[in-house]
Amino acid sequence: MHSVRLKCTFKKSGVIWQKSPAIRVREVASVCTALSNAYGTPRFGNPTDPLDDLIFIILSNKTGPATARKTYRHLRRRFPRWDNILSAPLSTLESILKPAGLSAVKSRQIRAALYRIKKEFGRCNLNALKRTSADDAEDFLVGLPGASEKVAKCVMMYTLGFQVLPVDTHVHRITSRLGWTSRKRADQCHKELEALLAPALRPNFHVGCIAHGRKVCRPKAPLCLTCRLSDHCEFFRATKR
């Protein structure tokens, strides 16, 4: 498995890019340190095996964290080996995934992904991706049904040891408010934000943003007055005017 990527450029949309490189580095490092000090390195229930994690993330789509974890545990009890899903009735998989929502879509995505993985590697296992490059791992993962760039980067970050930055709704909201990007959608931000954050900072920044986005930097009524990032936040400065 090998791919060749063309060098891609991106538009620097965030106001942080108007600052000098030295100031950008200090600001990013300060934000990352504040998040790490506040939240550590939580995993949010993500499994440690790459295929387990892929399936967990697919069924977690548009589902609350508690429901996703409960549904995943039920699925794992019913199918201790993922290969068994390939021979089980699709209706069985749909029934298990029903509490997580979109069960018909997610069932088809999971089964189709497992077929493709088994065809590529001879078994339902993604550990071979640990021996590939980050580009090859991402290219394979985004080619799987149900795996967006964010899903692929989550699997890579949580289980394959790659220093990438998945941009979910929390990362997008927080970086938008900080002034690091002005792009309207999370899926548009990966290149810009990975260019801004050094590889070693990306994993902890991702999980820190999730924790911070749930507790403080909420979509509505954010707790700006108690926020550890307010000194660096364009959104907070604008609200004080």
For 165-177, what is each residue's pLDDT tens digit? 999 999 999 999 9
Alpha-carbon distance 110 to 147, whole Å? 10
Q: 154: exposed, middle or buried (C-beta count within 10 Å: 0-12, 13-18, 19+)?
A: buried
20 token code pair: 């000098």
**Chain segment 83-96, per-residue pLDDT in tens:** 999 999 999 999 99
Grade residue 142 by pLDDT with cuts at 50, 70 and 90.
very high
Residue 223: Cβ within 10 Å count:
11
Percent of the chain with pLDDT over 90: 88
Q: Residue 70 has what DSSP assignment? A: H
The confidence band for 2, taking pLDDT boundaries of 50, 70 and 90, is: low
In the block, residue with structure tokens 């980050």 = 134
Tokens 């609350």 belong to 64
Residues 6 or more apart in contact with residue 241 via CB below 8 angstroms = none
Domains and CATH numbers, the chain: 15-42+165-239 (1.10.1670.10), 50-160 (1.10.340.30)
Residue 35 to residue 29: CA distance in whole angstroms: 10
Q: Would the pTM of this model clear 0.85, i.e. be above it?
A: yes
The residue among 189, 190, 174 whose CA lies nearest residue 235 is 174
